[in-house]
Amino acid sequence: MPSNTEEPKVVHFHAGGVPGSRPILTGEHAKPTFTEIPAIDTSKIFSKSLEERKEIAAQVGKACREVGFFYALNHNVPDEVVSQTFKAVAGFFAQPLEVKMETHINNTEHFRGYEALFETKLDTASRRGDLKEAFSMGEDGTDPEQHAPSDTGVVYPKKNQWPSNNLELRSSLYAYYSYALAFSRQLLHIFALALDMPEDFFDQFCRFPMTAIRALHYPPQEVEHGAEPGLGAHTDYCMFTLVCQDKVPALQVLNDNGIWVDALPRPKSFVVNIGDFLMQVTGGTFQSTVHRVVNLTGERRYSMPFFFSPDEDAHISVLPQFRNEGETYDEISVGEYFRRRLFAARHKHPAVLKWKEELKRTKEEAAAITQAAQVVEQAA
């Protein structure tokens, strides 16, 4: 019998924090677009030779303009650091739920710690939400492992929370964090070269950058619920992301024809993708590309995205060479930008609910003042 199920004609996603869609184009209607993720050898990214760094930058620039994703092959992170960190992450997620919930993100206003299955829902068509659990840590000037600058006059708030019964998780994540941060800082130089700018241009905005490792566990699908997304289709709102994957494939990138292109795991590689913030400051020259995670393998999948962005107190505008003549461009407050995007994604978090209540009260007070002023004006 013929099936009554029609093939989807449109792909739905969230890009730039708002819902979007893209028609699926095939045959004569298809556009020229990428069908695979570019691979770039980054083994010489720390080379003292400017020419060698420029060679990498030329390839990176092409990938960022045309795809928004690329493999960074032969990175600087030792294999044993990666394997030990994945082992520690898997051990954490294997614990009973009540143990993991001791570090739940609702315990802190900084959204660090543990998130259980289905707590996020990027795919609105998903009945239960994203089939994944997460543990997040990031920049925290109170953690001695980070060696935060002491000459800025900034009083650093406590952001990270760590399980008291699992010292291995902290030590392993920090071992990986130090390498990922060093690679990211150098990649920032490569991006500057790719944009024909001084190599150290972005350094002024990244003394103590906003960073985060979000260790993720995608369990196998439950047969009775069908193929659920591990992470719904979206774009990242950071500057850029390094994704370290285990051997289980699940990451997919959306091309201009609405076709999902697999970003399969490759040995000793990061999958690098441009985020909305870098696309914005380059006037759309670098692409922030929609992607998703769907684990159909029947195996557990682990990954460790490392998100990198400028200092929280930095202010950046669209770079001059990417501005349109006659248009005005406001500076972007990095901290406010990320707060707005994060709050939109975590609307049930206590910090977000508190902010909404304060915003409501402020609006009510402003309305009362306006009304009182009108009464006075009428009386006069």
| DSSP sequence for 268-314 | TEEEEEE-HHHHHHTTTSS----EEE---SSS-EEEEEEEEE--TT-
Which one-letter amino acid corresponds to residue 140?
A: D
Angle in degrees, CA 332, 282, 110, rounded to 5: 40
Exposure b/e, 118-133, CB count within 10 A at least 16 = b = ebbebbeebeebbbbb
For the beta carbon of residue 330, count every other beta carbon within 10 angstroms: 8
Per-residue pLDDT, averaged over 100-129, amounts to: 90
Q: What is the pLDDT of residue 365?
A: 63
Angle between helices 167-194 and 79-93 (to 10 degrees): 130
* Inside any domain, residue 363: no
Per DSSP, 48 falls in state S
pLDDT band at 208 (very low <50, low <70, confident <90, very high): very high
Residue 375 lies in a domain: no
Residue 373: inside a domain, yes or no?
Answer: no
CA–CA gap between residue 23 and residue 16 (Å, rounded): 18
| Mean pLDDT of all residues in 274-288 | 97
Structure tokens at 284: 């759309």
149 or 175: which carries more pLDDT confidence?
A: 175
Task: Determine the pLDDT at residue 6.
Answer: 61
Collapse the DSSP code of 218 into the 3-class scheme (helix H, G, I; strand E, B; otherwise coil) and give the result: strand
143: pLDDT strictly greater than 60: yes
Give Cα 303 to chain centroid, integer Å. Answer: 13
| Structural domain range at position 170 | 13-21+30-348
Instruction: Say what the pLDDT of residue 380 is.
Output: 59
Q: What is the pLDDT of residue 355?
A: 62
| Structure confidence at residue 333 (pLDDT) | 93
Per-residue pLDDT at 5: 53
More confident residue, 371 or 182: 182
Rounded Cα gap, residues 320 and 212, in angstroms:
29
Here the CATH number for the domain that contains residue 203 is 2.60.120.330
The pTM (predicted TM-score) of the whole model is: 0.90
Closest by CA to 276, choosing from 231, 307, 306, is: 307
pLDDT, tens digit (0-9, with 9 covering 90-100), for 42-78: 999 999 999 999 999 999 999 999 999 999 999 999 9
Of 328, 45, 53, 308, the C-alpha closest to 198 is: 53
Is residue 3 assigned to a domain?
no
Max Cα distance, the chain (Å): 81
Tokens read off for 363? 């609006």
User: Which residue in 146, 167, 175 sits closest to 158, CA to CA?
Assistant: 146
> For residue 127, what pLDDT is reported?
75
369 within some domain: no
- Residue 3 pLDDT: 47
Q: What is the DSSP letter of 91?
A: H
| Parallel/antiparallel/unpaired status of strands 332-333 and 315-316 | antiparallel
Q: What is the mean pLDDT of residues 286-314?
A: 97
Residue 213 belongs to a domain: yes
pLDDT of residue 153: 72
The answer to whether 222 touches 127, Cβ cutoff 8 Å, is: no
The more confident residue out of 368 and 31 is 31
Asked whether the predicted pLDDT for residue 373 surpasses 70, the reply is no
Which two three-digit tokens encode residue 14? 């969230």
> What Rg do the C-alpha atoms of the chain give, in angstroms?
22
Checking if the pLDDT of 188 tops 60, the result is: yes
The domain tally of the chain equals 1
Q: Is the confidence at residue 4, as pLDDT, over 80?
A: no
Paired residues of 301 in beta bridges: 218
At 8 the pLDDT is: 74
Element (H, E) at 23: strand 18-23
- For the chain, give the mean pLDDT: 91
Q: Are 233 and 254 in contact (CB under 8 A)?
A: yes
Whether the per-residue pLDDT at 2 is higher than 80: the answer is: no
- What distance in Å separates the CA atoms of residue 128 and residue 119, rounded to the nearest whole number? 9
User: Is the pLDDT confidence value at 80 over 60?
Assistant: yes
286 occurs within a structural domain: yes
Element (DSSP H or E) covering residue 364: helix 350-379
Higher pLDDT, 351 or 129: 129
Q: In the chain, pLDDT over 70 holds for what percent of residues?
A: 91
pLDDT confidence bin for 1, thresholds 50/70/90 = very low
What is the rounded average pLDDT of the residues 201-222?
A: 96
Helix, strand or coil for residue 216? strand
The arithmetic mean of pLDDT across residues 195-213, rounded, is 97
- The answer to the question of residue 366 being in a domain is no
* Local confidence band at 368 (pLDDT 50, 70, 90 cut-offs): low
The answer to which of 154-163, 179-188, 255-264, 362-371 has the lowest mean pLDDT is 362-371
Strand arrangement of the beta sheet that strand 291-293 belongs to: 18-23, 10-15, 231-234, 291-293, 251-254, 260-262
